[in-house]
Structure 1
Amino acid sequence: MTQASIGVGVARVEVEVTISAPRERVWKALVEETGQWWPKDFYVGREPKGFILEARPGGRVYEDWGGDAGALWYTVLVVEPPAVLELAGHLTPAFGGPATTTARLTLKEQGGATVVRVEDAVFGRVDENTSPRLREGWRTLMGSGGLKAHVEKQTP
């Protein structure tokens, strides 16, 4: 592969999902119950034991495979409960990289519900499929395939 055929640039997406629950409940599910709503088909390991989000600056967002094995998805940059979570991660060649990703998740109360807004930017090796894949991934994670479904199933 020649260097000219590799696209280097920035892909940026924004996704909003409304969850019928108070912001504190959505925040708790986001940072404390991640392993309960993280979709099984999003795991990259063959036999994951769980998905963990350490909600503190410098904390990890990772798959735990047991026995000190796993995959680091992000490092936590900013935690401002119950409103803001900022993350940074790296994409290796196995996942379309080399690239770096930064994501900002904000939770805003709106009429008894919570609007979860995700802003994600990937810079490095990107192509025309990067933005659509990111957008669809975040919609699934935050929406009916992940966080929204988990919270709304448990909220009367």
Structure 2
Amino acid sequence: MMQASSGVGIARVEVEVTIAAPRERVWKALVEEAGRWWPRDFYVGQTPKDFVIEARPGGRVYEDWGNEAGALWYTVLVVEPPAVLELAGHLTPAFGGPATTTARLTLKEEGGATVVRVEDSVFGRVDENTSPRLREGWRALMGSKGLKAYVEQQTP
């Protein structure tokens, strides 16, 4: 769904990925081990040291480049372990903005597996490519290139 007026509008996507592991394991990997599963080509810095999710209200989601340098992706709005992580961030012009983004990640246990659902909304400068790009990015991040691949590799 997209409404645009002079390039300003709203883009909203929903993505679901099923991970063959219990919810507590997926949550732990999501918030405590992000630097281990975050795909290399998703970093914006040249020489990132880590990717960090501070899972507490007001916490940061950021790239750590060392020496107090880095990139802030999101601020944590809501944390309900092991089920909900809500984030808010800003897209600068270098990353397609100016725009504001809010993302809600929910983890639901289904028959020994975990369904990770991402709902992401971007308000600001959007175009016809924004939603497909977001959907593709979240699928890769939560799926075959990121969290799912990492957790399923680690889980016996």
TM-score, normalised on structure 2? 0.96
Instruction: Please tell me whether residue 129 in structure 1 is matched to residue 129 in structure 2.
Output: yes
Percent identity over the alignment is 88
Q: Distance in 1 between matches of 2:89 and 2:51?
A: 15
Q: Distance in 1 between matches of 2:14 and 2:5?
A: 27
Equivalenced residues, count: 153
Question: Gapped runs of 5+ residues in structure 2?
Answer: none
| Structure 2 Cα separation of the partners of residues 42 and 154 of structure 1 | 21
In the TM superposition, what are the counterparts of 1:144-155 in structure 2 within 5 Å?
A: 144-155=144-155
Match of 2:91 in 1: 91
1:1-40 alignment, distance < 5 Å: 6-40=6-40
Q: Shift in Å at residue 6 of structure 1? A: 3.9
Q: In the TM superposition, what is the alpha-carbon distance from 1:144 to its structure 2 partner?
A: 0.7
Structure 1 segments unaligned to the other structure (5+ residues): none
Letter in 1 for 2:83: A
Partner of 2:114: 114
**1:5 deviation in Å?**
8.3
Q: How does 1:3-82 map to 2 (within 5 A)?
A: 6-82=6-82
CA RMSD for the aligned pairs?
A: 1.1
Secondary structure of the equivalent of 2:44?
Answer: coil
Aligned counterparts of 1:83 and 1:33: Cα–Cα separation in 2: 16
Determine the C-alpha separation between the residues in 1 that align with 2:66 and 2:18: 34
Structure 1 segments (4+ residues) deviating >4 Å: none
Matched letter for residue 42 of structure 2: F
The TM-score, its normalising length taken from structure 1, stands at 0.96
Distance 1:5 1:83, change over 3 A: closer
How many Å separate the matches in 2 of 1:5 and 1:75? 28
1:63 partner SS: strand
> Displacement of 1:39 after TM fit?
0.2
Distance in 2 of aligned mates of 1:75 and 1:112? 30
